[in-house]
Structure 1
């Protein structure tokens, strides 16, 4: 796949933005720590003790998501878009900015998508989501995930399934986390 640069400062700009993106990825645990320090004054003492667990689990999920996006989603997307042609008279000459943008977007978006269990944990904690709600809309979620997987992967079923399975595993893990949060809240009410 030949990649070209058509701007004078294109490679320099690409190098700088890639460095910023990689810096963001590696600084993610520190960013989470800063966010935790910001919200921790509003939490009870027993909730503050989960800071280290929260940062470790969130960082782990984010890093796994980034690796998933970089090594699976991005290559599938590049393969599809680079080989897609409307007419044989039109050739694909991929610009470096477009290529790097696709790689960065795939990696960061997957990393953030893998934060789904953490998001569901907090949404359940504040009462916006229940396990019943998540179970009720499971089939709609599957359809949406299959559609998104069909868009970002080459037009073959195997690639679509490879992308869909981890996302649905995360969704099922989110349901389990929601159940555990609700049970914990019910125990606290009984003990109070």
Structure 2
């Protein structure tokens, strides 16, 4: 396949190209949303398989809203690699051939890591937090509404899908020369502080839950630094090989 050629584009052409990429991304999301909506009832039954009874709804639109939330998460997972490819197509004319090839290889990892993050949130963090909160409700009659139950579930899973994108985003930016491992190591303390704030915000107020979330986030950052070193070294070697 022939490499895309460098092109000089004026502001109007840039905006036209950007609009095209946004339309394709939104179209993919809507198509994936419709596709997920076909099976959303089966997905709902699977997600509520461990509940003793049925969830309550307080209004006729609650069911539709819950189904849209569920379908929306699956649509986002499908759209992420398409959105990544559209971003690549938009910035590709301004990249070196080596950078274009390298950046393209990271796109499949975006979808994989998002799903891995969702799985981590759903199978590890979500049941841990739910169990803790249920332990506090011994003196109360608990009756979950479908809307609040799934809003809570999404809040416990989707952020991890986003956070698990960190390694591939760092690799992508390193391949473009926008990041390097020395810079990432230099801001490690600030990054740890921000990740700690995120962990404390999304977990119950107990030390064990905080630690169980903080440790994976710190490991993700250290993995990101390690991968950045590998990408940075390979980038330098390739640039030297072509004399740039």
* TM band (smaller chain): 0.7 to 0.9
Hey, what's the Cα distance between the residues in 2 that align with 1:83 and 1:172?
Answer: 34
Partner of 1:21: 73
1:114: how far off? Answer: 0.8
| 2:103 equivalent to 1:54 | no
Partner of 2:28: none
Question: In 2, are the aligned partners of 1:80 and 1:153 still within 8 Å (CA)?
Answer: no
Hey, what's the Cα distance between the residues in 1 that align with 2:189 and 2:202?
Answer: 20
Gaps of 5+ in 1: none
Q: 2:226 aligns with which of 176, 181, 185?
A: 176
Hey, what's the Cα distance between the residues in 2 that align with 1:63 and 1:189?
Answer: 36
Hey, what's the Cα distance between the residues in 1 that align with 2:236 and 2:82?
Answer: 33
Change over 3 Å in CA distance of 1:27–1:128 after alignment to 2: closer
Change over 3 Å in CA distance of 1:129–1:40 after alignment to 2: closer
Change over 3 Å in CA distance of 1:24–1:151 after alignment to 2: closer
Hey, what's the Cα distance between the residues in 2 that align with 1:140 and 1:82?
Answer: 34
Change over 3 Å in CA distance of 1:140–1:92 after alignment to 2: farther
Compute the TM-score of the two structures, normalised by the length of structure 2: 0.63
Compute the TM-score of the two structures, normalised by the length of structure 1: 0.77
1:65: how far off? Answer: 0.9
Change over 3 Å in CA distance of 1:76–1:57 after alignment to 2: same
Change over 3 Å in CA distance of 1:55–1:18 after alignment to 2: same
SS, match of residue 185 in structure 2: helix
Change over 3 Å in CA distance of 1:17–1:150 after alignment to 2: closer
Gaps of 5+ in 2: 1-50
Matches within 5 A, 1:134-153: 134-153=184-203
Matches within 5 A, 1:32-51: 32-50=84-102
SS, match of residue 8 in structure 1: coil
Hey, what's the Cα distance between the residues in 1 that align with 2:170 and 2:91?
Answer: 17
- Provide the alpha-carbon RMSD of the alignment: 3.1
Question: In 2, are the aligned partners of 1:121 and 1:178 still within 8 Å (CA)?
Answer: yes
Matches within 5 A, 1:1-192: 3-50=55-102, 53-84=105-136, 92-125=142-175, 128-187=178-237, 188=239, 191-192=243-244
How many residues are aligned here? 190
SS, match of residue 6 in structure 1: coil
1:156: how far off? Answer: 4.7
